[in-house]
Each structure stands twice: as structure tokens, then as C-alpha cells.
Structure 1
Amino acid sequence: MRALPIAVTVLAAALALTSCDDSGDNSSSSKTSETGKTETNAVAAADCKIDSVGIQVGPANVAPAAGDTGNVPVTITNRDSPCTLKGFPGLEVHAGSTSTDIVADKAATPEKLTLAKNDTASFTITYVRGTAGDANTLDLKTLKISLPEATATQDFKWSYGPVAGKGGAGELDASVTPFTHAGD
């Protein structure tokens, strides 16, 4: 006799839960077509574009002397509609007529980030200061930053001292981390 009221209560609760609308996720919407199948329309954010973001380089933890390590944080703020970042930024540095890339940190694993308007992401450049005038050192003047899947760049003055070389010609003792959410 008691089983019937409990079964009715469980059934009512199940029906109430299935009628709830979870509208907290705005990344997709679904509807039922005339055939009875559910169709989902995912709203995917496009890749972030360099002309739609603000970039701030520094303030840095500058390497004070040759052989010391320095860190240069870079913050990117999305100024437009939601966009995504995945991977590493493109970093090209110039010392007079010589240019080279700063390579990705091989130990780091990038994740896909979606930035809403005014959200920020960051990455860090880590470098070893070189000895001015040394054949293996580049006295950098310009840092060019690009976003993944893009060729457009923004240029910034490099004011953190010369960077030590490593290995072969033009390879710097420097690396960059993948993008991470900034703040919180």
C-alpha cells in the first residue's frame, strides 16, 4: 500500500525535472525538428584576431646580469565578440638586420581558451640575459607578437637587455608559455 504513494512521488519528481529548462549554457541551442530528431546549433567562437585585442607587455622581472633569467608577462584583452585562443603566440624578435623566433616551452601543454568581451589571457616569455657584444648574444630591439593561426603582428620595443644564444645559429635561450586565463 505504501509503495503506490512513493512511486507517484518519484514519478512526479522525474517529470518536474525533465520539464526544467537549463538556459545557463549559451554555447548551443537545440530544437526538435518535424521528424522528431533533436538538432543542435553550436555557436563556436572564432579565433581571436590581433586587431580585436589589446596587448600589454610587462612589467617584467628583468634579468639583471648575464646568465640570469628574466620573465616578461604579456596580457591580451579581448575587445570584441567572444573568440578563442589555442596554442602558443608567435614571437619574432629583431636585433638590427637579424631576426629569429622565440620557441614554445616544450614542457607545456596548451589548452583552448574562449575569451568573452573584456576577458584576458596571458603568456610569459622566459629568457636568459646574454653578455653584450658576445657572438652568441642578440641585442634585441623589437618583439613582434602574432596570435595562433594568423600572420598579422603587433610590434613592441624590447627593453630587457641582450638575450643569450643557445645551440645553433640564431637560436635564443628563451621560450614562451601557452596562453592561460589571466586573473581569477
Structure 2
Amino acid sequence: MRVIPLTVTALAAALALTACDSGGSGTNSKNGSACEIGKVSVQVGPASVAPAAGDTGEVPVSLTNQSAPCTLDGFPGVTLKAGGTSATVPAQSGAKTGRLKLAKGDSATFSISYVRGKDGDKASLAATSLTVSLPGGDATQSFPWKYGAVAGKGGSAENPNATVSTFQQAGD
């Protein structure tokens, strides 16, 4: 008679383990979907502008969720543009990102740190606009860049001396 209780116990354990499998990974509807650029309001600045070539400036970017709960999972995408030149701004070295869930009305921020370049120097990117995208989406939103030229690394304007921080919860 001992065989039946062991079989039932083994079957129950197998069913319990199967029930724990979510069947996939990534952001799902239970945890909220990825935040979309068209469903959040985005504000750039006010900035701490680098006053002269070689100085460092910081441009805060704030976003507020205007829709259903969503998740920011990764770094923001930032591109600086000058005429026909586009330069992607990399994430801060050593920065780690986590998941940040935003309910409707919740806000988050990130910062763009940059080194001011010399105006008219071929090793500086004379940026005129900034494009922002959110992780998990292809949509972008553009804003004017009015903080001066951005120094290039290694003498290349297409490799800006700038970085993007992780998302941080804003507000209460």
C-alpha cells in the first residue's frame, strides 16, 4: 500500500513545479509592459550648462507616465545630432540598471553628462538636437540641444565625451 502515496506525492510535486514556470521571460502583462515614448511626457532641463570648453555639464531628463502602468528596464537611448551627423551617447561606465515600475502619474529621471567642446573645432560635435528613446521601444522624441558643442573622444566628433545615467525614481 506504500506505492500509491509515493506516486501521488511525486505527481503532486511535478504539477507544483510545472505551475511555477511562467513560460517565458521579459516584461509581461502581470508586471506591466515596457514604457512607450508616446505614453509618457518628457521634459529636458533645466540644465547645469558647461560654461567653457573642457568644463562638464549635466542635462536632466524627466518623464512622467501618462498611461497604464509600465516598466523601464534598461538604459535610455540618447542620440545627439548635428546636421547629417548622429552620435549615440553611451551609458555611464560601470552603471547598472534595474527595473523601475511606473504607475500612471509616476515620474523617473536620468541625466546626460557631457564635456563642452570648442565651438568650430572638427573634434567637437556642434549638436543642435537630442533624440530620446526608451528601452524596449523604437519610437523616439526629439528636443533642441542648446548647451553648446560636445567634445569628442579621440579627436572624433562622432564619439562624444558624454554619458547617460540610469533611470531614477522621481518624486515621493
Which TM-score band (shorter chain)?
0.7 to 0.9
Q: Distance in 1 between matches of 2:97 and 2:75?
A: 7
**Structure 1: any 5+ residue segments left out of the alignment?**
1-36
**Structure 2: any 5+ residue segments left out of the alignment?**
1-15, 23-28
* Pairing 1:93–2:47 present: no
| CA deviation vs aligned residue, 1:96-127 (integer Å, no higher than 9, x gap) | 11111011112211110000000000000000
When normalised by structure 2's length, the TM-score is 0.81
> Which of the residues 151, 161, 165 maps onto 1:173?
161
1:80 maps to amino acid: S
Q: Distance in 1 between matches of 2:99 and 2:40?
A: 17
> Which of the residues 91, 96, 100 maps onto 1:109?
96
| CA deviation vs aligned residue, 1:22-47 (integer Å, no higher than 9, x gap) | xxxxxxxxxxxxxxx7x789822000
Match of 2:10 in 1: none
When normalised by structure 1's length, the TM-score is 0.76
CA RMSD, Structure 1 to Structure 2 (Å): 1.9
Q: How many residues were matched structurally?
A: 149
Q: Distance in 2 between matches of 1:131 and 1:56?
A: 27
Match of 1:24 in 2: none
1:172 maps to amino acid: P
Match of 1:156 in 2: 143
8 Å Cα contact 2:123/2:155 also seen in 1? no
Larger radius of gyration: 1
8 Å Cα contact 2:97/2:167 also seen in 1? yes
What is the SS of the residue equivalent to 1:94? strand
Q: Distance in 1 between matches of 2:87 and 2:115?
A: 15
